[in-house]
């Protein structure tokens, strides 16, 4: 039987983060509908916070929370789960 280590070879947070990275990076967040250059905020998971440059955030760990980092123009630069 193969060894399955949660979060390493079972998908876990890494695959969730990769999935959201592919969906969001390079797009701007907005109120409208999602398309090639925009992503609707309403389509984000409930446990999401959008982090602006220089914004202070709590350091509490929540593996289900999606952190969406944007630049000054509102374009997503990267995402993580914390």
Burial 51-70 (b: 16+ CB within 10 A, else e): beeeeeeeeeeeeeebbbbb
What does the domain layout of the chain look like in residue ranges? 12-81
21-78 per-position pLDDT tens digit: 999 999 999 988 999 999 999 999 999 999 999 999 999 989 899 999 999 999 999 9
Rounded Cα gap, residues 50 and 41, in angstroms? 9
Res 10 pLDDT > 70: no
User: Which CATH architecture is the domain 12-81 placed in?
Assistant: 2-Layer Sandwich (3.30)
Which residue shows structure tokens 């905020």? Answer: 41
């Amino acid at each position: 039987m193969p060894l399955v280590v949660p979060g390493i070879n079972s998908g876990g947070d890494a695959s969730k983060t990769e999935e959201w990275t592919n969906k969001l990076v390079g797009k701007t967040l907005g109120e409208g509908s999602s398309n090639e250059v925009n992503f609707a905020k309403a389509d984000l998971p409930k446990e999401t916070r959008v982090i602006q440059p220089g914004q202070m955030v709590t350091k509490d760990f929540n593996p289900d929370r999606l952190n969406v980092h944007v630049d000054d123009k509102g374009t997503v630069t990267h995402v993580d789960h914390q």
